[in-house]
Structure 1
C-alpha cells in the first residue's frame, strides 16, 4: 500500500525528501507515542537530517492527503456496529470521544465533540457511513442515551440511513468497546491531535 501511495500521481513531488521518508515519519508519529523531536533524532540515527518542524509540517499538511488516498485500501467492515462515547481530557479540555467498532472488534472511525447531544450523535452517525470502505449498515448498537434515537430518526427521515437499518439500545453488545477503557484508539487519538508535544 505504501508503495502505491508513493507512486500514485507523485503525491510528494516538489518535496525535499522522498515520499517514503515522509510517509514513514507521518505513520510513526500517528501510530506511536513519539514527539517530533523523537522522530528528528530517529532520522538522525539513520543518517538523515530532518528538522522536527519539517516533520510537523508533514503531519499537518500531508496527513490529510495521505488519509484521503489510503481510504480505498481500507478493509471493508461488516454491517453490525457498536457506537460508544467517553469523556476524556484533550489538551486541557474535556471532550467526548465518539467511536465506532464493528462486531469483530475492529475500530473504524472516531470523532471528538464538545457536547453529548443529538446533534453530536447525528454528526457522528452521518460521518461514518460516508466512508467508501463501509458497507450498508444493518444494525447499530448503542447505549441507552436518548440522543442516539433522536439522531437515528432524523437520519432515517433524511434518507441517510436505509429503512432496513436497525438501532439497538442495550449496553451489553457494546462490551467489546468497554473493554478498551484505556485502549489503542484513545492513545492514537491523543497522538493525532496533541500537537504541542514537540
Structure 2
C-alpha cells in the first residue's frame, strides 16, 4: 500500500509517523520516551499522538516488517547457526559456557558445564 493512501488525512509527514511508531515498536521505550526523543530532534508531538499513531498504523507497519523479514529469510536458503565455547569463572571455578548462535547473532541456547564435554552440550 502506498504512503499516500495510508497517511492521506494527516498533516504530519509519513516519515515522522513511521519513525515514531518504529521507535515505540522496535525499542523498549514508553510513549513519553518516544515523545522526548522526537522533541530532541525538533519534532514537537505529545505521547497521546504517538499512542494514536500506534493504534492506527501499528498493525500496518508490523505487517510490512513481517513481509520484509520473510522476503529476507527466503534469500537465506538455510538458516545457519554455530556452536561456540567460552571459558568463564564462576566463584573462582572455571566453567565452560556453550552457546548456540544463529545467523543474526542471537543466542538460541546456553549451557554451563564444569567439565569440557562437547557431546553433552550438543544434546
TM range, normalised to the smaller chain?
Answer: 0.5 to 0.7
TM-score (norm 2): 0.54
- Residue 177 of structure 1: aligned partner: 108
1:14 aligns with 2:9: yes
From 29, 45, 49, the counterpart of 2:40: 45
Asked if the contact 1:36/1:52 (under 8 Å) is kept, the reply is: yes
Question: Which residue in 1 is equivalent to 2:57?
Answer: 62
Mapped to 2, the partners of 1:16 and 1:178 lie a distance apart of: 47
- Counterparts in 2 of 1:179-198, with a 5 A limit? 179=110
Q: Higher RCO, 1 or 2 (CA under 8 Å, sep at least 6)?
A: 1
**CA deviation after TM superposition for structure 1 residue 45, in Å:** 2.2
Q: Do the aligned residues in 2 keep the contact of 1:105 with 1:177 (CA within 8 Å)?
A: no
CA contact (8 A) 1:80 1:103 kept: yes
Counterpart mapping for 1:92-171 below 5 A: 104-105=103-104
Task: Identify if the C-alpha distance between structure 1 residues 105 and 9 changes in structure 2 by more than 3 Å, giving closer, same or farther.
Answer: closer
1:106 Cα deviation after fit: 6.9
Q: 1:16 to 1:76 in 2, by over 3 A?
A: same
Select 1:35's aligned residue among 30, 37, 44: 30
Q: 1:48, 1:73 → 2: CA distance?
A: 28
Q: Please state how far the C-alpha of 1:105 moved relative to its aligned partner.
A: 4.8
| Aligned CA distance change for structure 1 residues 70 and 105 (closer, same or farther; 3 Å) | closer
Q: CA RMSD in A?
A: 3.0
Q: Any idea what SS the aligned residue of 2:58 has? A: helix
Q: Is the 8 A contact 1:25 1:39 kept in 2?
A: yes
How far apart, CA to CA, are the structure 1 residues paired with 2:105 and 2:61?
A: 21
TM-score by length of 1: 0.36
